[in-house]
Amino acid sequence: MQIRLFIITLLAVSVFLGCGGPKRPAGLPPLYPCAVTITQGGVPLEGAVVSLVPEGGGLARWNASAETNSNGVATIMTHAEFSGAPAGTFKVLVKKEMQSPPTLPVPPKEADYDEFVKYNTHAATQPWIRYVEKKYGNADETPHSITVAKGKNQATFDVGEAIEEIVK
């Protein structure tokens, strides 16, 4: 009976320890909590992609980014799996682009195949709209930067007035 209890306990502990989340890649530096709030014209901007790019140029070895929530807050993740960002000074890039919704009504369930093809073709060809000025998504032009260090890192940035510009 005690052997059976020992084996069950050992299996339970093994399962528990094996569920520690994704394995860290070799060389991944320590990560520190980082939350970036984005406003547009003073109002929280939802659905923007925020990326941290090392200041001074060059490609980032560790992708640190997140999408803003309804409060405009992007809680940065590295490689979309690991909470936080590595230490360093980064340019803060902000982009928000979405495809325009279709202008044709969705065909009813009983519509024929050609109606669905027509609708899907129309939907796929709708233009993309940029909602944040292009300079905020360019490391050479954005005025925003953040220094990430041990401890909590928080900053708020405004990306100017709202725009709606067709992306070509």
Residue 57: the pLDDT is: 67
Question: What architecture (CATH level 2) is domain 28-96+131-168?
Answer: Sandwich (2.60)
As a whole number of angstroms, the distance between CA 63 and CA 97 comes to: 20
Q: Mean pLDDT in runs of 10 for the chain (168 residues)?
A: 48 50 84 98 97 80 94 97 96 95 91 92 92 96 97 97 91
Compute the distance between CA of residue 27 and CA of residue 23 in angstroms, rounded to an integer: 12
Q: How do the domains of the chain map onto residue ranges?
A: 28-96+131-168, 98-129
Tokens of 38: 């984005």
- Per-residue confidence (pLDDT) for residue 51, from 0 to 100: 97
CA distance 1 to 11: 15
